[in-house]
Amino acid sequence: PEEMLSFLKAFREANIMTPVLASRSFNDQLLLDPASDGVIFPRDPFEPERTARAREFNESYQAKFGAEPNIWAANGADAVALLAEAIEQVGPNPDDIRTWLSQMPDWEGACGIFKFDSHGDVEKLPIISIYHDGQFMGYNDYKELTGS
């Protein structure tokens, strides 16, 4: 994140107005800076107020660590919880876990619904987002807010 922010500051100081597209790693509190304004990036859905599972994770994380969780904490917690459930269902054999994951019903975690295809890829679309006026927001919300 530090290198990205340095790049964005230099980019803005050079008065380059080209839109900036970034990767999922852009979703980081270190990038909450005016130089980041207008950067478009994909992010995994983690909205603590959206579902009971997300609220539960958010509350337990804050109680334990005294801070709000970020997307990486939520994804990590989901990965551990899903692996624990797989082991509980089929045991610790990696081949059995892989088979179970490819056949499991939709699984809800803090980051939403998870489903895997036969290749082991998560069938889940990211939210296209933008950094605007000091906050990360969905791109559709941004368009609605700005009328663009």
**Number of other residues whose CB lies within 10 A of the CB of residue 126:** 12
Closest CA relative to residue 48, chosen from 64, 32, 69: 69
Q: pLDDT tens-digit profile of 3-48?
A: 989 999 999 999 998 889 998 888 777 778 999 999 999 987 788 8
Contact 63, 51 (CB under 8 A): no
Write the CB contacts of 133 (distance below 8 Å, at least 6 apart in sequence).
37
| pLDDT at residue 100 tops 90 | yes
Q: How far apart are CA 118 and CA 116, in angstroms?
A: 7
Q: What is the pLDDT of residues 15-26, one digit of tens each?
A: 998 889 998 888
Name the strand (E) or helix (H) holding 77: helix 71-90
